[in-house]
Amino acid sequence: MVDRAPRISIGLPVFNGEQFLEQAINSILAQTLTDFELIISDNASTDRTSDICRDCQARDSRIRYHRNETNIGGGNNYNLTFRMSRGRYFSFAAHDDIYAPQFLEKCVEILDKDSSVVLSQSIITEIDERGNALQVVSSEKGAFRKPHERFRALAGMDHHCQDICGLIRSDILRKTHLLLNYTDSDRTLLAEISLYGRFQRVPEPLFYKRIHPKMSTMAFPDYRGRMAWYIPGIKERIVFPNWLQFFHYVRVIAKAPISAAEQFKCYAYMLRWLVLETHGLRMAGDIKRAIKKTVGIRPRQIG
């Protein structure tokens, strides 16, 4: 028998996720649309993560479990789940989030119906560590008609990049740079995807984003400190996360399949991004901290 590729691939990267992992996996396995594979990539966890994954795999043949010998970094582990995937559509899943049973079914309906849509996501409910609802998030930043409008909205800092866990066309995702190793590269990836087509939201709250003290943005509240999630052991090294992001945006715009006029408008936004949206000050801060670190002065932490 030929091993037929599933319609959907779900990539679940995890590191020491025992607290919420089984609940997240069970919510995926309970989907009304059943033609999917769940790829779990364990980033050398030291808790019960491996046991939970193997137990779930023994119960459901749709699960493919992989374990890295060493921690390869959070972004690299996310990318690995996609590179292992075979489905026409792909979704990044987090070990602490929850899908409602109709999440995949409703998102697929949108992508099947309209080829101009490259990513579908539902209304999002943020929950706490006990599952209590905190707030509902419903943004249309990726729904603008023109590429530069979508890029400008998604490159802005006024959202939390939760659409990265929507359902994405795999052929589009393969054309991107995926996640690079710097803080906030998920924002850059969303902006890059938007240059290939529109986002559309399912008008129902079918995705639950868990907010809790152990999530990466809480565990590493400092923008530069979060580089350790991407590159383990980087804490004592000089890093330039804001510069990395700026030049990545430049490459993204240059590579995008959009008109010269649309590219010009995206580059124009990057000038605004530097001057009016304080990113230029952040880039200057990277240099200042690097100089202080080089001469042995302890840099002041930023929030």
When the candidates are 3.30.830.10, 3.50.50.60, 3.30.470.30, 3.90.550.10, the CATH number that belongs to 1-96 is: 3.90.550.10
Report how far residue 284's alpha carbon sits from residue 265's, in angstroms, rounded to the nearest whole number. 24
In the DSSP assignment, the letter for residue 231 is S
Report how far residue 211's alpha carbon sits from residue 129's, in angstroms, rounded to the nearest whole number. 7
pTM of the predicted protein model: 0.93
Q: Of 166, 176, 179, nearest to 196 (Cα)?
A: 176
Task: Report pLDDT digits (tens) over 122-175.
Answer: 999 999 999 999 999 988 999 999 999 999 999 998 888 999 999 999 999 999
Which residues lie closer than 8 Å to 105 by C-beta, 6 or more apart? Answer: 31, 32, 33
278 dihedral zone (left: phi>0; alpha: psi -120 to 50; beta): left
**pLDDT above 90 for 213:** no
Tally the C-alpha atoms within 13 A of residue 127's C-alpha that lie toward its C-beta: 17
Domain ranges of the chain: 1-96, 220-294
Task: Report pLDDT digits (tens) over 60-72.
Answer: 999 999 999 999 9
- Residue % of the chain over a pLDDT of 90: 79
303 — pLDDT class (breaks 50, 70, 90): very low
Continuous segment of H or E residues that includes residue 123:
strand 117-127
20 — pLDDT class (breaks 50, 70, 90): very high
